[in-house]
Amino acid sequence: MSDSPFRPTRPRRLRETPALRRLVSETRLDPADLVLPVFVREGAGGPLPISSMPGVVQHSLDSLKGAIAEAAEAGVGGVMLFGVPEVRDAIGSGATDPDGILNVATRVAVEAAGGALVVQTDLCLDEFTDHGHCGVLDALGRVDNDATLERYRDMALAQAAAGSELLGLSGMMDGQVAAVREALDDAGFLNTAILAYSAKYASAYYGPFRDAVESQLQGDRRTYQLDPGNRREGLREAIIDIEEGADVVMVKPAGSYLDVLADVSAASEVPVWAYQVSGEYSMIEAAAAHGWIDRKRAVIESVRSIKRAGADAVLTYWATELAKWIRAGEAA
Ligand code: PBG
């Protein structure tokens, strides 16, 4: 024994055994907090692989049912549907057509889910427009905010009628939450909830997604999505959306925006979710495929970090696989 009065503080005590580490863990993963994004394509034939997202496919209506059943079985909390139409036009007509792929897929998904998980839909025009923007364009080719809101209102009604329980407003138009809430309420869809992609950044990490939905985008989305350098503005957008009536707010992408997520989480009165986007997925998959990173550990660490920063739920392409690991006690 040293006669020094100094006794080091020993935080390592609580790291001594697996059981102790488990007991003092601050962040646990739960399948119920995971949402699986799902792509559904129009047309005949089976599912198609997405080359830039190994392991993720564009589902057919038939394979969609299996994916929903598997996710529900694993305890996943919900799915977020994206449509990949065969035909696109300037105003994104397929988005509001009750027989458009996303609305048809929603009906199929609601039936397949049977209430075991929450069926949600992406509410944005980019998958349906031939120019690839999230809204309609004015005579000068700029995205027309208020004309787009009219399209979002109609899209919301089509999705609610198809049975979507939570509409994911991802277009970043000003006033979109208020416009959609009003349209839903006026049509009697009082219980259809709104998930606002509030702090959605103009990110390079959406690259593989553009591939996944075969987006035709020319140019970029910087006049409506946030500048990656702006932290304060992310919080501001979330506060505006909560005031407009958002039931849930979201930060997207997740991994590079944990500071924004922590800010929104601290300030929000409604649940705060985060979207681990396509590029975040593909980076880990690519590094793992080269043997440069331990895939399972990296997946678990990436999602746990997003929850640690304050996300109540996480949209991730690994949702079903991760849920299975959690159930098996392999994702501490
Ligand atoms: C817009 C939308 C996008 C994503 C989700 N919703 C694309 C974009 O804004 O460019 C990206 C999701 C991902 O990259 O995983 N409909």
Instruction: Report residue 143's pLDDT band, with 50, 70 and 90 as the boundaries.
Output: very high
**Residue 33: CB within 6 Å of ligand 1?**
no
- The proportion of the chain whose per-residue pLDDT surpasses 90, expressed as a percent, equals 94
The pLDDT of 232-243, averaged and rounded, is 98
The pLDDT of 171-199, averaged and rounded, is 98
Mean residue pLDDT of the chain comes to 96
| Contact call for residues 225 and 161 (beta carbons, < 8 A) | no
- The proportion of the chain whose per-residue pLDDT surpasses 70, expressed as a percent, equals 99
The pLDDT of 64-79, averaged and rounded, is 98
Whether 2 shows a pLDDT value over 80: the answer reads no
The pLDDT of 176-201, averaged and rounded, is 98
Strand boundaries in the chain, DSSP class E: 34-41, 48-49, 57-59, 78-84, 118-123, 166-169, 193-200, 248-252, 272-275, 313-315
Closest CA to 81 of 167, 192, 155: 167
Q: How far apart are CA 86 and CA 80, in angstroms?
A: 20
Q: How far apart are CA 208 and CA 185, in angstroms?
A: 35
Question: What is the rounded (10 degree) CA torsion for 178, 101, 217, 88?
Answer: -110
**Residue 280: CB within 6 Å of ligand 1?**
no
ipTM: 0.94
Q: Which helix (H) or strand (E) holds 130?
A: none
Q: Which of 79, 170, 172 to mutate to test the pocket of ligand 1 (most atoms within 8 A of CB)?
A: 170
Whether 125 shows a pLDDT value over 90: the answer reads yes
Q: How far apart are CA 42 and CA 332, in angstroms?
A: 39
Residue range 269-317, pLDDT digits in tens = 999 999 999 999 999 999 999 999 999 999 999 999 999 999 999 999 9
Which residue's C-alpha comes closest to atom 10 of ligand 1? Answer: 206
Instruction: Report residue 210's pLDDT band, with 50, 70 and 90 as the boundaries.
Output: confident
Answer yes or no: is 214 a known binding residue. Answer: no
Domains along the chain?
Answer: 28-327 (3.20.20.70)
Q: Residue 1: its pLDDT value, please?
A: 55
Answer yes or no: is 142 a known binding residue. Answer: no
Q: Are strands 34-41 and 57-59 parallel, antiparallel or unpaired?
A: parallel
Whether 3 shows a pLDDT value over 90: the answer reads no
Helix or strand or coil: residue 217? coil
**Residue 122: CB within 6 Å of ligand 1?**
yes
